[in-house]
Every structure is written in C-alpha cells, then in structure tokens.
Chains A and B, each alone.
Chain A
Amino acid sequence: EDQVTQSPEALRLQEGESSSLNCSYTVSGLRGLFWYRQDPGKGPEFLFTLYSAGEEKEKERLKATLTKKESFLHITAPKPEDSATYLCAVPGYSSASKIIFGSGTRLSIRP
C-alpha cells in the first residue's frame, strides 16, 4: 500500500536554530515527491517537486533533498514566519492523479 510517513509530528525550534524534517515513502515507481506548506485555516501551498534521487531544490531558508526512500526538508536559520505545518506528498502507484499526503510536521519557531 502506498504510504507517506513524516517525522517528527511536531518540532519546536528557537529562531536561528537549523534542523531537518523527514519524509519516508513506500510507493512503487516514484513519480515525484512534493513538499507543501500549510498555515492554520488555509490550504496547502506548493513549495517543491523532486523527481530523482540526489536532486535538491532551494527556496529562501528551505532546502529539499531526495534519496531512494526518503526526503528531507532542511530549514536553515529559521524565522518565526517559517512556523507552519509542512506536508510531504507523492503520486499514488495505481493512479498518479491520486496524490497521497503525509500527516505533516508542525513546525514552531520561537523568537
């Protein structure tokens, strides 16, 4: 069964304290891995797409990396405005239209 697991569930950091979020997946024939950011009461906002092991994408303080079994979202010197839930997602094997989301990591940055 296609599955996406994210860890930790919640992470509290001090402003400027770098860390990483993990996303592991079990899906045959990976056809991309997506990262989204979701603020409370809002819809998810697309951040990155990664397609192949070794690929990296960056956006401001965020960098996403991909291996054959997992992806990491590294956050460098975070600021309070980076506080949000970060979601990882992959297309399902049986139907690429069926994007499967992980349960997310709730990130909180203290000033």
Chain B
Amino acid sequence: DSGVTQTPKHLITATGQRVTLRCSPRSGDLSVYWYQQSLDQGLQFLIQYYNGEERAKGNILERFSAQQFPDLHSELNLSSLELGDSALYFCASSNDGGRLYGYTFGSGTRLTVV
C-alpha cells in the first residue's frame, strides 16, 4: 500500500456519460497530480493541485476537470465520455514537488467506455 488511495478501481460506463474519480493523497502530502495512461500514449500529465489550488496543467481536455478539497482529497471529473477516454487514470502525491523522493502513485482507476 503506497498510501495514496484511489476509488473506484474499475469503472465501466457508456459513451456520453460523466464519471468522478477520487483520490486521497498520502498523509502530509499537499500536492496531487493526475495522470492518464493509455497503451498508445504512455503516462500523460493532466493536472496538479497544491493545497487546494491549481498549480500546473497539462494536455487536459476541456471535458475533464478536477478539484482539491480542504481535506486535500481530489476528484477528477470526466464528462461527455468517448471511447478514446478508456485508460488507466493515476493519482500521485508529493510533499516536495517530487524533487527528492519522486511521486507516490496510487494503484489507479481503470476506466472503460463502451
């Protein structure tokens, strides 16, 4: 157990639907990062939050949004889902920007859009 908790582990939904992925960072970590991993794209950075505020943005689609709550857990909202959104979604956390000890990743949410 890495200390980063992601729920649900698996999610199957239809095209056009909306889903919410949840992440609880490791205790004491203020930063949360969301990554998407698909077979043809590898790990792609989506967005970072630090202590409730958006800090950095990657190639995140407009249909996707995220937030970090006062208790530091984060949610990634995916809407108007398409088949191509099927992927593993990882959350990671750190307390130093990952400079010394890297990121701690959760075990991911596998999203299947049918």
Interface residue stretch chosen among B14-22, B63-71, B76-84, B104-112: B104-112
Chain A, 33-77, CB within 8 A of any chain B CB = 34, 36, 41-47, 49
Partner of A46, one of B56, B58, B102: B102
Residues of A within 8 A of B8 (CB): none
Chain A, residue nearest B110 (CB):
A41
Residues of A within 8 A of B33 (CB): 97, 99
CB atoms of B106 and A43 under 8 A apart: yes
Q: 7 closest pairs, A vs B, by CB? A: A43-B105, A46-B102, A97-B56, A101-B43, A103-B42, A95-B56, A97-B48
Residues of A within 8 A of B4 (CB): 43
The answer to the question of A78 belonging to the interface, with a C-beta cut-off of 8 Å to chain B, is no
B residues with a Cβ closer than 8 A to A are 2, 4, 31, 33, 35, 42-43, 45, 48, 55-56, 58, 90, 92, 97-108, 110
Once the chains are docked, how many angstroms separate the CA of A42 from the CA of B54? 26
Residues of B within 8 A of A44 (CB): 43, 90, 103, 105
CB atoms of B56 and A43 under 8 A apart: no
Once the chains are docked, how many angstroms separate the CA of A100 from the CA of B33? 12
Once the chains are docked, how many angstroms separate the CA of A105 from the CA of B106? 21
CB atoms of A99 and B98 under 8 A apart: yes
Residues of B within 8 A of A97 (CB): 31, 33, 48, 55-56, 97
Residues of A within 8 A of B55 (CB): 97
CB atoms of A49 and B101 under 8 A apart: yes
Chain A, residue nearest B44 (CB):
A101
In the assembled complex, the CB of B93 is this many whole angstroms from the nearest CB of chain A, namely 11
Chain B, residue nearest A4 (CB):
B42
Chain A, residue nearest B101 (CB):
A46
Residues of A within 8 A of B100 (CB): 49
Once the chains are docked, how many angstroms separate the CA of A96 from the CA of B48? 11
Known A-B contacts A100-B45, A102-B42, A103-B42; the reply to A45 vs B105 at CB < 8 A is yes
User: What are 24 A-B pairs at a CB distance below 8 A?
Assistant: A32-B99, A34-B98, A36-B102, A41-B107, A42-B108, A43-B2, A43-B4, A43-B105, A43-B106, A43-B107, A46-B101, A46-B103, A49-B99, A87-B43, A96-B97, A97-B31, A97-B48, A98-B45, A98-B48, A98-B56, A99-B45, A100-B45, A101-B35, A103-B42
